[in-house]
Amino acid sequence: MQMLYQWQLGGNTPEQVGASFFQERGADSEVEGFARDLFQNVVTNVDRLDQLVREHAENWRLERIAAVDRNILRVALCELLYHPETPPNAAINEALEIARRFSGEDSVKFVNGVLDAIRKSLPPRK
C-alpha cells in the first residue's frame, strides 16, 4: 500500500518505487517478492481494479475516495483476483487491519462494505 501511495501521490514511476522502496527496509526476500508482485499487479491492472470499485462503492466516485482507502482496496482486490492461494477472508481482514492502522474506523467500515460486495460478485474459486 505504501508503494502505491508513492507511485500515485509521490509522482514516482513504478520503476523508481520498485528500485528504492526496499533499500531502507529490512524485509525478507519472500515478503519483498510478494509485495513487489502485488504492487506490479496493481499498477498493471489499475483500470480493472478501479472499475470494480466504481461498480461497488455505492454513491462514491473513485476520485472522492481517500487515496489511502483507494490503495487499500486496490491491494485487496489484487489478492482476491490474482492470488488464488490467499483465502478471500484473509485478504479482506488484512485490508481492514491496514485501514485501521493508516486510516480510521469509518474507513474500515467503508473498505469492508466495498470488498465484501465485490467478493460476492466474483465467481467462486475452484
Give the residue-averaged pLDDT of 5-29.
79
Name which of 2, 80, 85 is nearest 36 in CA terms. Answer: 2
**21 in a domain, yes or no?**
no
Q: Which three three-digit cell numbers place residue 28?
A: 525478507
Q: If you count them, how many residues does the chain have?
A: 126
pLDDT of 114 reads: 96
pLDDT of 79 reads: 95
Number of domains observed in the structure of the chain: 1
Distance in angstroms between the alpha carbons of the first and the last residue of the chain: 28
pLDDT of 23 reads: 73
Name the H helices within the chain.
2-9, 14-20, 29-56, 67-82, 88-102, 105-121
| CATH number of the CATH domain containing 51 | 1.10.940.10
pLDDT of 26 reads: 66
**81 in a domain, yes or no?**
yes
**58 in a domain, yes or no?**
yes
Q: Which three three-digit cell numbers place residue 70?
A: 483507494
What range does the domain containing 95 cover? 2-10+27-121
**86 in a domain, yes or no?**
yes
| pLDDT single digits (tens) 36-91 | 899 899 999 999 999 999 999 988 999 899 999 999 999 999 999 999 999 999 99
**Biggest distance spanned by C-alpha atoms of the chain:** 41
**54 in a domain, yes or no?**
yes
Question: Which of left, alpha, beta for 78 (phi over 0: left; psi -120 to 50: alpha)?
Answer: alpha
pTM greater than the 0.85 cutoff: yes
**56 in a domain, yes or no?**
yes
Q: Which three three-digit cell numbers place residue 33?
A: 517478492
